[in-house]
C-alpha cells in the first residue's frame, strides 16, 4: 500500500532536476540548499548581461508550467527595456487546478530554488521587487517561504546589493483568499493589488501593463524553479532533456484510480502509457482504464485508446487535448462519466468568478443540468443541450476559465456519449449500486 | 293524362320533401330563446362583460402591467398601480391595480385585452345587460369587474 | 492631429480617429453592436460578451467594446456565428433572470427586453429552477432586486468613476454574485440615483417611482431642474397631472445622463399636499382663503392708497432666485414703471454683476465659461464654494475633466472639500481667507503668513503652476465678490491661453435674476440706471418713465421697513424672513405684505396677501444657469388654483390700468431678446432644448456692501424652501449629515 502522506514515492524512471534535493534532510533550509549548488546560478547570472539571461532561457525551450505552455523566455523579452516605471516579478503559486499539486512540494521541499529563480528573473528584466502569490489553502507554505526569504535576506541573496553585484531585489509573499480564478494572471494581479480577483481585459498584457499598471512578468512556481538549473547548466542542456520545443523535465501529479499516486519528475515527452503503467503502477485493483485527464481538470479527457502519446505540449495539442499543469488523473472502468462531468462542473460553477456572462451562467446551467441528469431526471435533449451550452461558453469568455470548464465537458460529451444514452435508457445511473439506495 | 299523373307525383314529392323538413325540425331542440323570460345561453367564447380573475388563494391575478390598456384599440381601460405590502397584499406579485376602470361607452369587446394579459387576469364573462340611462354608470370600476372571492378563501 | 484609421465593418468603409473603440466606430455607420456592460465614458469591462464580433485574421470572436480599431481591420457583425453568439449570451442571461416583465418597472424600456426581442432567445432550454433572492432595500430611494440583475457592473462604475462615491461592491461569487452596498445592508452615499438610471434592467429601482406605472403610460416633458444653479435638463414623467419621475431620459442637454439627488428625486415638492392651492387674505388678523380676484384687487387697492399717501419710495419689491427670466423681467418692469420704484432686489448668491463689469472693462466678454467648457478644460481653478454640494453637475464635470483627459484641478478653499481627491494642488486657507488668497495671487496685496497651511510658498507654487497651464477655467463662489472679482479677472486674463470664468450662484435662476435686473441700480443686461442712454432705451420701449435714482438694496429695504419708510413689500418666490434671519417684528411695520409662493413659508405667514404660485413644472419660460446658459422650461402639468408669477404680474398690471400686450412667456422672451444686451439668443436653438450661452456686457455699479452677496450653502439634500417640502430629500439618512460631508 502506498504511503499517502508522502507524495514523493519515487520511480527509477524519474529524471531528477527540480526534485534533486528533495530527498535531503532539511532540504528547505538555506544551509542545505547552498551546500548543494544553491545560489550558484545567481552568481553566474550576475556575470551575464540581462539580455543574455533571457536568451539562455529562450534557448532552453522552457515553457510555462502553469498550463498555457507559453515560452518563458519569450514572455520575459516582452517587458520593455526602457521604462521609467518600476517592474515586477510575480510568482504564481495559486495552484488550484484539480489534480495538480506540484508547486506545493516545490515550495515545501525547496523554497530557495524558487527564490533563486525569482531573483534571476528579476535580474533578467531588471526588476527590483518580486511577489509570491500563494493560494489561501496553502497557508502553511507561507511560513516555510517566509522563513526561507528571511534566511535569504540574512545571507545576502535578497535585499540591497545582492552578492556584491549592485543589484537590489526585494521579495514578499502574499496570500490569496481561496479563489481558483486568482490563478489567472490578471485576476492574480488584481488580487495582489487588494482588489477583487476579477480578470482584466487583455490586451494590454501584464508584460506591458501589469501590477499597479507597471510591466510585470508572472510565472508559475515550477517555471521559475527551473531557471537556476537552466542558468547553471545552460539552455541547451535543459532543452535536450525534453523533446523539441518542450525543454526540460516536468513534475507530473498522478492521481485518481492508480496504484501509486504521487508526484514524479519525468522528462517532457514521456509516453503517457508508460507513465500510467510503469511509473504509476497501473490502474488500481487491476481494473481497466476508462479515461485519463492529462493535465488537470480543465483539459479534454483522453480515452483508454488515446494514451499512446508523448506527454508534451505539442503532442497533446495534436490529439485535441492539453498538457495543462501536469495533473494526470486516471479514471477506472467503473467510473460514471456523467458523474465525473458533474463533479468537474460543480467545481467550475463554484469557482467561476462571476465576471462575464457565459462562464457565470453557463457553468451554473451545466452543473444543475448534470446534477438533474445524473439523479435520474435526464431528458433526451439534455446531452445536446449541454454540448451546445459548452460550445457557447468555449472561446467567448474574458479569461480562460470558461474554456477550462467547457473543454472537458465537450470531450466527455463527445467521447462518452454512450454513457449518457445509457443513463437515459435505464432511467438511472448504471454505475451506482441502486440496491443500496433502495434499501 | 301522363301530364296529370306527373303533376300529382311531383306535388306529392314536393309535399313530402317540404314536410320532411318540418317534421325533422319538429324533433330538433328549439333554437329560439325566450329571453328575457328565460336566461339566454352562450357559447363559451362569447365576449361579454369583463371579469377580473382571482387565483386559488383568492388574490387578484392582475399585477397592473398595463398591457391590456396598451392593447386596447378604443383606449377604454384605465389603471392606477400600487405596490403590495406584506400587511396589505392584493395580488401575488409586487404590484396590483389600485384602480381598474373599463369604460363601456367605448369598449368594442374585441378581446385584445384578454389576448394581451400575461397573467390571465382579465377574461370575458357572459354578462351583456349593461344598458344604462347615464353614461357615467357605464364606467365600471374594479369592484364591479372582480370575480367574487371563492368560498375557500373566505374567512 | 493623427492620421485617421480606415477600416471596414460589414463591408461599409469607416474612417475614425485613432483610439476609437470598434463599438463606437460601428455606431458611426449605423451598425448596432449590442452591449450591456459597455457605457461610454466608463471603464471597459468586456463582461457581458454581447458585443462579440468577427474580425478577420483573429482566431476568436472579439469584444467590440474593448477592441481599438486598427488600419485595414475587416469586421463582420452579421455572420451566423455572431448572431448565434448574441442569442446564446441572451439565453445565458435569461437562465437566472425572472421573466416578471409585466411587474418589473423597467418593462417597456428595458435593454435586456429589447435585446431579446431583436436577437432572439425568447425560448429557453434551461429547465432548472432559477436562483432567487429577496429584494433588498438599499435606502428609501434605491431598491435592489438580485434576480433581475445581469451584473453589468454599470452601477458600480458610475458610482466609482462618475460620482466618486464608491458606494457599491460585489458580494459572493459566480452565479450567486450580487451587488452590495457600502454600509452593511444600507447605502451611504449621495443618493444621486445614477445607478438606477444607468441600470439596463429593472434590478435597481427608484423608491419614488417603483410599481407606480409603466413607461408608456406617462407623458414625458423635457424641462430644466429647478434646484441648484447648474441647470440640468430633466424629463418629467407625468401621469394624471402628477409628476412621478424625473430622469434625463434622452441624455440630451449639458448634463447627459447626470442628475443629482435633488434633480432625480427632489421634484416631489410639486405634488406636496402642503402646496398653496388658493389665495389667502388676512381678515381680522387671520389668513383666510379668498378668491384670486379678491386677493389681487385688495393688493392693488392697498398699493394705490400707499402710493398716493407716501409716494413710490414706500413700496419695495423682492424677487426670486427661481422664477423665470420672463417673470423677473416683468417684475422689474412692474416695479420700475407701474410702482415707480427702484427698490427692487433679490437674494444674491454670487456676484455676477462684478464679473460682468470686470470682463466688460477688460474687453473680454467672450470669457464666460459654459458647463461644456468645464468638462473639456485642461486646467481648472476652483476658489471657494463646495461644488459637490452646491453644484453637483459642475462637480461631476470637473471630475470628468480630471478622469477623462487628465485635467489639473487647483483648489483654493478654507474647508476640506470632497473635490480635493481630484485636485493636483490644494491650497487650504484660513477661514474666509479665499479673497485674501486671490488678492495675493493677483499681486494686489501680500498674503499674511498664516493665510495657508503651507505658508506663502504654497501660494507661490500655485501661481507658478497656473502660469504653466493654458485655457484655465476659473470658478469662484460667493467668497469672491466686489473688487476681488476684478482682481481675479485681471490676474486670470494674464494666464496663458483663453482663461474663462464662472461665478457659482445658488439657485435655478440666480444668474437670470441678476441678468434681468432684479437689482436696485441696474436695468436688465447690467445697464446701470445712471446710464441715461440705456434708461431712455427702456423707457421708449415700455412707454413709461423710470426713476433715475438707484433704489434700495435688499438690506436697505429691511432697514427702510424698520424705519417705517417702506409701507408695502411685494415678495415673489422668496422667503426673506428665513434667508436673512429677520425677526417677526422686522416686517410688522408694513401696511401691505404681498407674497406669491408655493408654500406657506415664514414670510408668507406674516403676509396680508398670499397667492399660490405655479411651480417650475407648471409653467413655461426660460432660466439662465450659473454659467449664463439660457434654457427653456416647458410646462408639464397643471395645478388647480395656482397661477404662474407671470400671470400674477400681468393681472396686477391690468388692475393698475396698464395695457401690456404680452400673451405668453414667449412674447416676453421676444422682448428680452430685442432689448436686453447679451440676450440676443436664437429662439429656435432654445426651443429644441439647447443651452444657449449668453455674453452679457455692461458696467453695473460696484457692489455697495459686503453682506449683499452670500450663498445659502445648500447641501446635496437641501434647496431652500423647496427641499423642506420634499419627502424624498428628507427621507434619506444622509440628509442629516452636515453640509460639506463627503461621501
pLDDT score at C583: 86
Q: Which three cell numbers stand for residue C208?
A: 419614488
The architecture of the domain spanning A337-438 is Up-down Bundle (1.20)
Which CATH superfamily groups domain C352-504?
Dimethylsulfoxide Reductase, domain 2 (3.40.228.10)
What's the gap between Cα C414 and its chain centre?
A: 24
Nearest chain A Cα to C169, which residue? A196
Listed in sequence order, the DSSP H helices in C69-208 are: 80-95, 111-119, 154-157, 194-198
pLDDT score at C56: 94
How far, in Å, are C1, C345, C446, C513 from residue C572 at the CA level? 53, 11, 44, 12
**CATH domain C5-78 topology:** Ubiquitin-like (UB roll) (3.10.20)
pLDDT score at A2: 41
pLDDT in tens, A84-118: 999 999 999 999 999 999 999 999 999 999 999 99
**Subunits close to B (at least 3 CB pairs below 8 A):** C
Contact flag for A and B (3+ C-beta pairs < 8 Å): no
CB contact C101 to B (< 8 Å): yes
Nearest to A120 by CA among A234, A226, A11, A26: A226
> How far is the C-alpha of C635 from the C-alpha of A335, rounded, in Å?
74
> At residue A26, does pLDDT exceed 50?
yes
How far apart are the CA of B68 and the nearest CA of chain C, in angstroms? 11
Name which of B66, B81, B93 is nearest C100 (Cβ-Cβ). Answer: B93
Residue B88 lies in a domain: yes
Nearest chain C Cα to B63, which residue? C103
How far apart are the CA of C86 and the nearest CA of chain A, in angstroms? 10
Name which of C102, C135, C210 is nearest B65 (Cβ-Cβ). Answer: C102
> How far is the C-alpha of C439 from the C-alpha of C456, rounded, in Å?
13
How far, in Å, are C559, C652, C658 from residue C311 at the CA level? 18, 18, 19
pLDDT in tens, A361-397: 999 999 999 999 999 889 999 999 999 999 999 999 9
Which positions of chain C have pLDDT values less than 50?
Answer: none
Contact C106, C150 (CB under 8 A): no
- Find out if CATH 3.30.70.20 is the number for domain C97-271: yes
Residue A3, Cβ neighbours under 10 Å: how many?
Answer: 10
> How far is the C-alpha of A75 from the C-alpha of A83, rounded, in Å?
17
Ramachandran angles phi, psi of A394, nearest 5°: -60, 125
pLDDT in tens, A235-286: 999 999 999 889 899 999 999 999 999 999 999 999 999 999 999 999 999 9
Residue B24 lies in a domain: no
Name which of C103, C135, C217 is nearest B95 (Cβ-Cβ). Answer: C103
Q: Parallel, antiparallel, or unpaired for β C379-383 and C472-476? A: parallel
* Domain regions of chain A by residue span: 30-241, 249-332, 337-438
Q: Which of C144, C214, C215, C245 is the mutation pick for testing B, counting most B CBs within 10 A?
A: C214
Contact C354, C447 (CB under 8 A): no
Contact C31, C76 (CB under 8 A): no
pLDDT score at A435: 37
> At residue A436, does pLDDT exceed 60?
no
A361–C175 C-beta distance less than 8 A: yes
Q: Which three cell numbers stand for residue C503?
A: 461665478
B82–C103 C-beta distance less than 8 A: no
- Note down the domain range covering B66: 50-149
Contact B90, B149 (CB under 8 A): no
pLDDT in tens, C37-96: 999 999 999 999 999 999 999 999 999 999 999 999 999 999 999 999 999 999 999 999
CB contact C148 to A (< 8 Å): no
What CATH number is attached to the domain comprising B111?
3.30.70.3270
> How far is the C-alpha of A329 from the C-alpha of A319, rounded, in Å?
17
Listed in sequence order, the DSSP H helices in C494-585 are: 510-515, 532-542, 554-562, 576-579
pLDDT score at C228: 94
How far apart are the CA of C597 and the nearest CA of chain A, in angstroms? 52
CA angle, residues A119, A122, A124, in degrees to nearest 5? 110
> How far is the C-alpha of A232 from the C-alpha of B16, rounded, in Å?
122
> At residue A178, does pLDDT exceed 90?
no
A363–C175 C-beta distance less than 8 A: yes
pLDDT score at A68: 85
Long-range contacts, A26-31 (Cβ 8 Å, 24+): A27/A109, A27/A110, A28/A108, A28/A109, A28/A110, A28/A111, A28/A112, A28/A144, A28/A147, A28/A148, A29/A151, A30/A112, A30/A148, A30/A151, A30/A152, A30/A155, A30/A157
* Domain regions of chain C by residue span: 5-78, 97-271, 280-349+509-705, 352-504
Name which of A201, A357, A395 is nearest C93 (Cβ-Cβ). Answer: A357
Contacts of C51 in chain A (CB under 8 A): none
For C585-622, letters b (16+ CB in 10 Å) and e give: ebbeebbbbbbbbbbbbebbebbbbbbbbbbbbbbbbb
Contacts of A351 in chain C (CB under 8 A): 173-174
Contact B128, B49 (CB under 8 A): yes
- Find out if CATH 3.40.50.740 is the number for domain C280-349+509-705: yes
Residues 169-208 of A with CB under 8 A from C: 179, 196, 201
Q: How many domains does chain B have?
A: 1
Residue B107 lies in a domain: yes
C126–A354 C-beta distance less than 8 A: no
How far apart are the CA of B144 and the nearest CA of chain C, in angstroms? 22
> At residue A5, does pLDDT exceed 70?
no
ipTM for the whole complex: 0.93
How many residues in chain A?
439
The H or E element containing residue A428 is none
> How far is the C-alpha of C603 from the C-alpha of C574, rounded, in Å?
8
CB contact C210 to B (< 8 Å): yes
Residue B115 lies in a domain: yes
Listed in sequence order, the DSSP H helices in C543-664 are: 554-562, 576-579, 602-606, 645-655
Residues 126-145 of C with CB under 8 A from A: 126-129, 131
Burial of C252 (0-12, 13-18, 19+ CB in 10 A): middle
- Find out if CATH 3.10.20.600 is the number for domain A249-332: yes
Name which of A354, A381, A388 is nearest C174 (Cβ-Cβ). Answer: A354
How far apart are the CA of B57 and the nearest CA of chain C, in angstroms? 19
CB contact C100 to B (< 8 Å): yes
Q: What is the pLDDT along chain B (155 residues), one digit of tens a residue?
A: 678 999 999 999 999 999 999 999 888 988 888 898 988 888 999 999 999 999 988 999 999 999 999 999 999 999 999 999 889 999 998 899 999 999 999 999 999 999 999 999 999 999 999 999 999 999 999 999 999 987 766 55
> How far is the C-alpha of A355 from the C-alpha of C153, rounded, in Å?
9
**CATH domain A30-241 topology:** Rossmann fold (3.40.50)
> How far is the C-alpha of C413 from the C-alpha of C435, rounded, in Å?
10
Residue B14 lies in a domain: no
Residue B142 lies in a domain: yes
Residues 18-77 of C with CB under 8 A from A: 44-50, 52, 60-61, 63, 66
* pTM of the entire predicted model: 0.92
Contact B49, B41 (CB under 8 A): no
Name which of C107, C211, C240 is nearest B83 (Cβ-Cβ). Answer: C211
Amino acid at each position: 500500500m502506498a504511503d499517502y502522506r508522502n507524495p514523493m514515492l519515487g520511480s527509477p524512471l524519474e529524471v531528477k532536476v527540480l526534485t534533486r534535493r528533495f530527498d535531503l534532510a532539511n532540504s528547505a533550509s538555506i544551509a542545505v540548499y547552498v551546500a548543494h549548488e544553491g545560489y550558484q546560478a545567481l552568481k553566474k547570472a550576475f556575470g551575464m548581461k540581462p539580455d543574455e539571461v533571457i536568451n539562455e532561457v529562450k534557448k532552453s525551450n522552457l515553457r510555462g508550467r502553469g498550463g498555457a505552455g507559453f515560452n518563458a523566455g519569450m514572455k520575459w523579452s516582452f517587458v520593455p527595456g526602457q521604462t521609467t516605471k518600476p517592474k515586477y516579478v510575480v510568482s504564481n503559486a495559486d495552484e488550484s487546478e484539480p489534480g495538480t499539486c506540484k508547486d506545493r512540494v516545490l515550495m515545501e521541499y525547496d523554497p530557495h530554488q524558487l527564490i533563486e529563480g525569482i531573483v534571476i528573473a528579476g535580474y533578467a528584466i531588471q526588476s527590483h521587487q518580486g511577489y509570491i502569490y500563494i493560494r489561501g489553502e496553502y497557508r502553511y507554505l507561507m511560513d516555510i517561504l517566509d522563513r526561507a526569504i528571511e534566511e535569504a535576506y540574512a545571507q545576502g541573496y535578497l535585499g540591497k546589493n545582492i552578492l556584491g553585484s549592485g543589484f537590489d531585489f526585494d521579495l514578499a509573499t502574499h496570500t490569496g483568499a481561496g479563489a481558483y480564478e486568482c490563478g489567472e494572471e490578471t485576476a492574480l494581479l488584481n488580487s495582489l493589488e487588494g482588489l477583487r480577483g476579477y480578470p482584466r481585459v487583455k490586451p494590454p498584457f501584464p508584460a506591458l501593463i501589469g501590477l499597479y499598471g507597471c510591466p510585470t512578468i508572472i510565472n508559475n512556481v515550477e517555471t521559475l524553479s527551473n531557471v537556476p538549473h537552466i542558468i547553471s547548466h545552460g539552455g541547451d542542456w535543459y532543452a535536450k532533456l525534453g523533446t523539441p520545443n518542450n525543454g526540460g523535465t516536468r513534475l507530473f501529479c498522478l492521481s485518481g484510480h492508480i496504484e501509486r499516486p504521487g508526484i514524479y519528475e519525468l522528462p517532457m515527452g514521456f509516453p503517457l502509457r508508460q507513465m500510467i503503467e510503469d511509473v504509476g503502477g497501473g490502474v488500481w485493483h487491476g481494473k481497466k482504464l476508462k479515461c485519463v485527464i492529462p493535465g488537470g481538470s480543465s483539459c479534454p479527457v483522453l480515452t483508454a485508446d488515446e494514451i499512446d502519446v508523448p506527454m508534451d505540449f505539442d503532442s497533446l495539442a495534436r490529439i485535441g487535448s492539453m498538457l495543462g499543469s501536469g495533473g494526470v488523473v486516471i479514471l477506472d472502468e467503473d467510473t460514471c462519466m456523467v458523474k465525473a462531468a458533474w463533479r468537474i462542473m460543480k467545481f467550475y460553477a463554484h469557482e467561476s468568478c462571476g465576471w462575464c456572462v457565459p462562464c457565470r451562467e453557463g457553468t451554473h446551467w451545466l452543473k444543475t443540468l448534470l446534477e438533474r441528469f445524473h439523479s435520474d431526471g435526464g431528458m433526451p435533449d439534455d446531452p445536446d443541450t449541454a454540448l451546445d451550452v459548452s460550445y457557447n461558453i468555449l472561446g467567448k469568455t474574458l479569461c480562460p476559465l470558461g474554456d477550462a470548464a467547457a473543454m472537458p465537458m465537450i470531450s466527455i460529451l463527445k467521447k462518452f456519449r454512450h454513457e449518457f444514452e445509457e443513463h437515459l435508457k435505464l432511467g438511472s445511473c448504471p454505475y451506482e449500486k441502486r440496491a443500496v439506495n433502495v434499501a | 293524362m301522363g301530364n296529370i299523373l306527373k303533376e300529382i307525383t311531383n306535388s306529392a314529392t314536393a309535399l313530402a320533401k317540404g314536410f320532411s323538413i318540418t317534421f325533422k325540425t319538429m324533433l330538433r331542440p328549439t333554437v329560439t330563446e325566450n329571453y328575457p323570460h328565460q336566461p339566454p345561453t352562450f357559447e363559451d367564447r362569447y365576449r361579454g362583460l369583463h371579469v377580473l380573475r382571482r387565483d386559488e388563494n383568492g388574490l387578484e391575478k392582475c399585477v397592473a402591467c398595463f398591457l391590456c390598456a396598451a392593447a386596447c384599440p378604443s383606449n377604454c381601460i384605465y389603471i392606477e398601480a400600487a405596490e403590495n405590502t406584506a400587511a396589505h397584499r392584493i395580488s401575488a406579485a409586487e404590484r396590483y391595480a389600485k384602480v381598474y376602470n373599463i369604460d363601456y361607452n367605448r369598449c368594442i369587446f374585441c378581446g385584445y385585452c384578454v389576448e394581451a394579459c400575461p397573467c390571465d387576469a382579465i377574461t370575458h364573462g357572459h354578462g351583456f345587460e349593461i344598458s344604462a340611462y347615464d353614461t357615467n354608470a357605464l364606467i365600471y370600476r374594479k369592484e364591479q369587474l372582480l370575480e367574487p372571492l371563492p368560498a375557500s378563501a373566505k374567512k | 492631429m493623427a492620421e485617421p484609421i480606415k477600416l471596414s465593418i460589414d463591408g461599409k468603409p469607416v474612417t475614425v480617429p485613432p483610439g476609437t473603440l470598434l463599438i463606437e466606430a460601428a455606431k458611426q455607420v449605423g451598425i448596432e453592436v449590442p452591449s450591456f456592460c459597455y457605457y461610454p465614458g466608463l471603464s471597459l469591462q468586456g463582461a457581458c460578451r454581447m458585443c462579440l464580433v468577427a474580425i478577420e485574421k483573429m482566431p476568436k470572436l472579439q469584444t467590440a467594446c474593448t477592441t481599438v480599431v486598427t488600419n485595414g481591420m475587416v469586421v463582420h457583425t452579421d455572420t451566423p456565428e455572431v448572431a448565434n453568439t448574441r442569442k446564446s449570451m441572451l439565453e445565458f442571461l435569461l437562465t437566472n433572470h425572472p421573466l416578471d416583465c409585466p411587474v418589473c418597472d423597467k418593462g417597456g424600456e428595458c435593454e435586456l427586453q429589447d435585446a431579446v426581442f431583436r436577437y432572439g432567445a425568447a425560448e429557453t432550454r434551461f429547465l432548472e429552477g432559477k436562483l432567487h433572492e429577496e429584494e433588498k432595500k438599499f435606502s428609501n430611494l434605491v431598491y435592489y432586486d438580485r434576480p433581475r440583475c445581469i451584473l453589468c457592473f454599470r452601477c458600480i462604475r458610475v458610482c466609482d468613476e462618475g460620482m466618486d462615491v464608491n458606494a457599491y461592491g460585489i458580494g459572493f461569487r459566480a452565479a450567486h454574485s450580487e451587488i452590495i452596498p457600502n454600509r452593511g445592508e444600507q447605502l451611504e452615499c449621495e443618493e444621486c440615483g445614477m445607478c438606477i438610471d444607468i441600470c439596463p434592467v429593472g434590478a435597481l429601482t427608484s423608491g419614488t417611482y417603483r410599481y407606480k406605472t409603466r413607461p408608456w403610460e406617462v407623458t414625458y416633458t423635457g424641462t430644466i431642474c429647478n434646484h441648484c444653479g447648474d441647470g440640468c435638463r430633466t424629463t418629467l414623467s407625468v401621469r394624471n397631472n402628477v409628476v412621478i419621475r424625473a430622469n434625463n431620459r434622452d441624455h440630451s442637454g449639458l448634463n447627459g445622463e447626470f442628475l443629482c439627488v435633488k434633480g432625480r428625486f427632489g421634484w416631489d415638492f410639486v405634488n406636496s399636499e402642503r402646496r398653496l392651492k388658493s389665495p389667502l387674505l388676512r381678515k381680522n388678523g387671520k389668513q383666510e382663503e379668498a378668491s384670486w380676484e379678491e386677493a389681487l384687487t385688495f393688493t392693488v387697492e392697498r398699493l394705490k392708497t400707499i402710493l398716493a399717501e407716501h409716494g413710490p419710495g414706500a413700496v419695495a419689491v423682492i424677487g426670486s432666485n427661481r422664477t423665470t427670466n420672463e417673470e423677473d423681467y416683468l417684475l422689474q418692469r412692474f416695479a420700475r414703471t407701474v410702482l415707480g420704484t427702484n427698490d427692487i432686489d433679490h437674494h444674491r448668491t454670487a456676484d455676477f454683476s462684478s464679473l460682468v463689469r470686470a470682463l466688460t472693462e477688460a474687453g473680454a466678454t467672450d470669457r464666460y465659461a459654459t458647463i461644456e467648457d468645464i468638462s473639456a478644460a485642461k486646467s481648472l481653478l476652483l476658489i471657494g464654494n463646495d461644488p459637490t454640494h452646491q453644484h453637483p453637475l459642475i462637480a461631476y464635470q470637473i471630475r470628468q475633466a480630471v478622469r477623462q483627459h487628465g485635467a489639473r484641478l487647483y483648489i483654493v478653499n478654507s474647508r476640506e472639500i470632497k473635490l480635493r481627491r481630484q485636485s493636483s494642488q490644494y491650497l487650504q486657507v484660513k477661514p474666509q481667507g479665499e479673497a485674501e488668497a486671490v488678492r495675493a495671487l493677483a499681486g494686489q496685496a501680500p498674503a499674511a503668513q498664516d493665510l495657508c497651511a503651507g505658508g506663502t510658498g504654497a501660494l507661490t507654487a500655485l501661481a507658478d503652476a497656473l502660469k504653466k497651464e493654458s485655457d484655465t477655467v476659473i470658478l469662484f463662489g460667493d467668497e469672491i465678490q466686489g473688487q476681488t472679482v476684478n482682481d481675479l479677472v485681471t490676474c486670470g486674463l494674464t494666464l496663458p491661453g483663453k482663461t474663462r470664468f464662472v461665478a457659482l450662484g445658488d439657485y435655478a435662476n440666480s444668474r437670470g435674476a441678476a441678468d434681468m435686473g432684479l437689482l436696485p441700480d441696474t436695468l436688465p443686461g447690467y445697464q446701470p440706471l445712471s446710464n441715461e442712454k440705456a434708461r431712455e432705451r427702456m423707457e421708449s420701449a415700455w412707454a413709461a418713465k423710470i426713476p433715475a435714482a438707484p433704489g434700495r438694496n435688499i438690506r436697505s429695504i429691511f432697514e427702510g421697513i424698520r424705519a417705517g419708510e417702506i409701507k408695502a413689500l411685494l415678495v415673489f418666490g422668496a422667503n426673506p424672513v428665513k434667508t436673512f434671519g429677520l425677526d417677526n417684528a422686522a416686517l410688522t411695520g408694513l401696511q401691505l405684505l404681498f407674497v406669491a409662493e408655493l408654500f406657506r413659508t415664514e414670510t408668507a405667514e406674516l403676509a396680508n396677501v398670499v397667492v399660490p404660485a405655479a411651480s417650475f413644472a407648471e409653467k413655461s419660460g426660460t432660466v439662465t444657469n450659473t454659467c449664463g446658459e439660457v434654457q427653456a422650461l416647458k410646462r408639464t402639468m397643471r395645478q388647480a388654483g395656482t397661477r404662474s408669477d407671470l400671470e400674477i404680474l400681468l393681472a396686477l398690471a391690468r388692475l393698475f390700468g396698464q395695457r401690456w400686450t404680452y400673451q405668453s412667456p414667449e412674447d416676453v422672451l421676444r422682448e428680452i431678446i430685442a432689448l436686453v444686451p447679451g440676450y440676443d439668443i436664437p429662439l429656435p436653438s432654445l426651443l429644441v432644448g439647447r443651452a444657449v450661452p449668453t455674453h452679457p456686457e455692461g458696467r453695473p455699479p460696484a457692489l455697495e456692501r459686503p453682506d449683499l452677496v452670500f450663498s445659502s450653502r445648500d447641501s446635496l439634500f437641501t434647496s431652500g424652501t423647496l427641499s423642506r417640502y420634499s419627502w424624498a430629500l428628507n427621507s434619506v439618512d444622509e440628509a442629516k449629515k452636515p453640509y460639506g460631508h463627503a461621501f
